[in-house]
Amino acid sequence: MPQLGTTAEARTEQWARWLQHRRNANVWSYSRVMSSSPKSTTIVANERNQGAKHYTNFGSQDYLSLSGHPRIKEAANSAVDAYGVHSAGSAILAGRTNVMLSLEQKLSELLNKSACIIYPTGWAAGFGVIAGLAREQDLIVIDHLAHNCLVEGSRHTRARLSFFGHNDLDELRQILATERERHPTKGIFLVLESLYSMDSDSPDLKECIELAREYGAMTILDMAHDLGAMGHSGRGLLDSVSNDYWPDMIMGSFSKTFASNGGFVAASSNVVDYLRCYSPSFTFSNALSPIQTKIVLECIEVIYSAEGQAMREKLFSNILRLRDGMMERGFTVGGTPSPIIPVFVGNESNARLTAKHLEELALLANLVEFPAVPIGKARFRFQMMLNHTDRMIDTAVDLFSQAHSRAKVEFESLARQ
């Protein structure tokens, strides 16, 4: 067992040394400071707010560029005038506004559920739906690449966790069949994402729901990344199946497409009423502010209109342009087309050096490395926004290619030393 140390300093000392090492080598590209809105070009400085310059930005999550849409800004301003700037309480107490009620109703309608509960963040929604419903005696069957909020929510319950290989439906079937045979009355939850955020791929939803029904499992789907931004009606993966195959509990985040913090769970009225009292990240946390709530409500109006449909089409053509450009330069691009475009660089050393050169070349794309992804599977996660122009996309491909070549040369020279 490693010694943890009896003081906070002792616990963090080794990490601090490692971090300093990376900072000294200019290969720590996190916690940067932005001093403009999340636009397709943005002003960025390092974590100490030094060296601010303009970057071509493929690192922000604002898929339909709604954070700067005039109608959304106007809605935010009107919410400030009507409600002030703070909800000032948990939504189980005095923090729930009539705007929040409208948002709950709107999302329930969109997702064909009888009720909906709004959380302060998407993370809180993912954590809270599982922590609220599952108990120690249950089994949680969860995709190996599920987001941290779903895994932490599961761990919180102390229920047994069974991870199946990413999108591996044969293994999923095997687990469900074995467990159901051994434990005929056990509560089983099947937890999935509609678009996996590091790999940009999706499960076969119809088959997953059929399996869950066959073996009596409750289903939870996290739709953080595709709801609003993908699918012919803007309902992401749900658009790929008929209504009969929609999961029991649909969870989402507002932070990728809906220009705000916050998240939700849409489900039956009883489940939602229960979560209001038993979901710790809802019950014991301050409600989403009326400004943010109003922003999401207005975003929904835009997203589920003809304008929203046109936005999704343009976003999709941007996505294909970047993916094709990267592949033409010989890069491996992961998953299927979505606003998340993972470009693989393999080992961590190369990846960190590429990140350093990207900074110098003023291209913002987030490096994702272990422990967010397995060792040796480092990648850059490009995130597409509606307002990216063809020119910006082509520039991103060029700059990435240059950064990668420079990193290779530097790596080889370091290896020779």
Give me the residues that bind ligand PLP (CB under 6 A), please. Answer: 121-123, 126, 147, 149, 193, 197, 222, 224-225, 253, 255, 263
Does the CA dihedral 127-132-135-139 come out positive or negative? negative
Angstrom distances, CA of residue 260 to CA of 36, 104, 388: 16, 15, 20
Rounded to whole angstroms, the Cα distance separating 36 from 411 reads: 33
Rank residues 297 and 399 by Cβ distance to ligand PLP and give the closer one.
Answer: 297
Closest CA to 303 of 266, 254, 336: 254
Nearest approach in angstroms of CB 145 to ligand PLP is 10
Nearest approach in angstroms of CB 71 to ligand PLP is 22
The DSSP string of 137-188 is: TSEEEEETT--HHHHHHHHHHT-EEEEE-TT-HHHHHHHHHHHHHH-TT--E
Closest CA to 215 of 158, 134, 139: 139
Nearest approach in angstroms of CB 149 to ligand PLP is 5
Nearest approach in angstroms of CB 374 to ligand PLP is 17
Nearest approach in angstroms of CB 327 to ligand PLP is 24
- Exposure string over 57-95, b if 16+ CB within 10 A, otherwise e: bbbbbbbbbbbebeebeebbeebeeebeeebeebbbeeb
Distance from CA of residue 107 to its chain's centroid?
A: 19
User: What residues contact residue 380 under an 8 Å CB cut-off, 6+ apart?
Assistant: 342, 343, 345, 351, 354, 355, 358, 365, 366, 367, 368, 400
Rank residues 157 and 407 by Cβ distance to ligand PLP and give the closer one.
Answer: 157
DSSP-assigned beta bridge partners for residue 55: 42
User: What residues contact residue 185 under an 8 Å CB cut-off, 6+ apart?
Assistant: none
Rank residues 26 and 90 by Cβ distance to ligand PLP and give the closer one.
Answer: 90
Rank residues 202 and 356 by Cβ distance to ligand PLP and give the closer one.
Answer: 202
User: What residues contact residue 38 under an 8 Å CB cut-off, 6+ apart?
Assistant: 57, 60, 61, 62, 67, 385
Q: Is 270 helix (H, G, I), strand (E, B) or coil?
A: helix
Rank residues 193 and 359 by Cβ distance to ligand PLP and give the closer one.
Answer: 193
Nearest approach in angstroms of CB 282 to ligand PLP is 13
Rank residues 121 and 354 by Cβ distance to ligand PLP and give the closer one.
Answer: 121
Nearest approach in angstroms of CB 195 to ligand PLP is 8
340-346 and 249-253: which strand pairing? unpaired
Rank residues 338 and 354 by Cβ distance to ligand PLP and give the closer one.
Answer: 338
Nearest approach in angstroms of CB 62 to ligand PLP is 12
Rank residues 366 and 397 by Cβ distance to ligand PLP and give the closer one.
Answer: 366
Distance from CA of residue 48 to its chain's centroid?
A: 26
Q: Is 286 helix (H, G, I), strand (E, B) or coil?
A: strand
Rank residues 303 and 392 by Cβ distance to ligand PLP and give the closer one.
Answer: 303
Nearest approach in angstroms of CB 224 to ligand PLP is 4
Q: Which stretch of DSSP H or E encloses residue 64? A: none
Quick one: tokens of 65? 């560029």
Nearest approach in angstroms of CB 76 to ligand PLP is 18
Nearest approach in angstroms of CB 222 to ligand PLP is 5
**Which residue has its beta carbon closest to ligand PLP?**
122
Q: Is 346:377 a contact under the CB 8 Å cutoff?
A: yes
